[in-house]
Amino acid sequence: MNTKKHTAIIKQESKRLGFDFCGISKATFLEEEAPRLEKWLKENRHGKMDYMANHFDKRLDPRLLVDGAKSVVSLLYNYYPSLQQTENAPKLSKYAYGNDYHEVIKNKLKELVNSLQEQIGAINGRVFTDSAPVMDKAWAKKSGLGWIGKNSNLINKQQGSFFFIAELIIDLELEYDGPIDDYCGTCTKCLDACPTEAIIAPYVVDGSKCISYLTIELKENIPTEFKGKMDNWVFGCDVCQDVCPWNRFSKPHNEPLFNNTNGLLDYSAKEWKEITAEVFDKLFKNSAVKRTKYSGLKRNIDFIKAD
């Protein structure tokens, strides 16, 4: 079996399809992450995200997700936009400006698998992008694509952290990459800037306090303790990434489907506050924002009115 040749094909094809970085790790049990995940769950840092406590073993061992799995291929796809929203408007996380990344990335992963099967032969595997119980940041770290920063995001030394992470778990032995060093140093910008103090310690995020959780995952009313602390965010939050010094190396993406084409970035604060269900359906038809539904987005907009 030509592991060197197969590894080269995978990295070449991933680059052709627009993935910025590709790293590969041996499919094995995540020993280092197991106690951290267990502690995080026991301390209820996942809030109402009950799914995080499901499939604990599968989260830590990709061989339980794919029979005969030998390799985890980790991929990064840049989403850093060239344009920003109108100043003072309710804010969306940058990843939600264009089409839903789940669909865009999954289509590219399927194309990657088809190409690999044409060039290498029959491959058994599954593709993932923020789906199923896969610890994507842990695998990207093991594959040398970056380190886990103090804000718990994967940080790439060349281009920062504005990336979608995807995986291909396959039954093919490959050449494996190793992890790189942590370059956060003594910096605490992300901890200092978090509006809700969700980063409770370096490398530890209380998910139940995170604005992304409060505006997307939480289906109940946002607790009043967060009044005045939402920093105008209504879907996700980029604060800990925006202040990260490594994101000075971020470069605008080259994916047309991630460009905003419906005028959303020009919406004023007034237009946001008067948004109707009909406008919501039109604006976010192909967007990740549809996950929060009109009622959820309206709840978030109403909550920040008094901020």
- Spell out the residues 6+ positions from residue 145 whose beta carbon is closer than 8 angstroms to its own: 21, 22, 23, 74, 76, 154, 156
Q: How far is it, in rounded angstroms, from Cα 251 to Cα 303?
A: 33
Among 247, 37, 72, which Cα is nearest to 142's?
Answer: 72
**DSSP structural state of residue 248:** G
Q: How far is it, in rounded angstroms, from Cα 154 to Cα 77?
A: 12
Which run of H or of E encompasses 127? strand 125-128
Q: Is 154 helix (H, G, I), strand (E, B) or coil?
A: strand
Structure tokens at 41: 């769950």
Torsion angle, alpha carbons of 76, 62, 36, 106, to 10: 30
- Spell out the residues 6+ positions from residue 122 whose beta carbon is closer than 8 angstroms to its own: none
**DSSP structural state of residue 160:** B
Structure tokens at 39: 């502690």
Contact (Cβ atoms closer than 8 angstroms) between residue 257 and residue 100: no
Structure tokens at 261: 């084409």
Residues serving a catalytic function are 130
- Torsion angles phi and psi, residue 283, rounded to 5: -65, -40
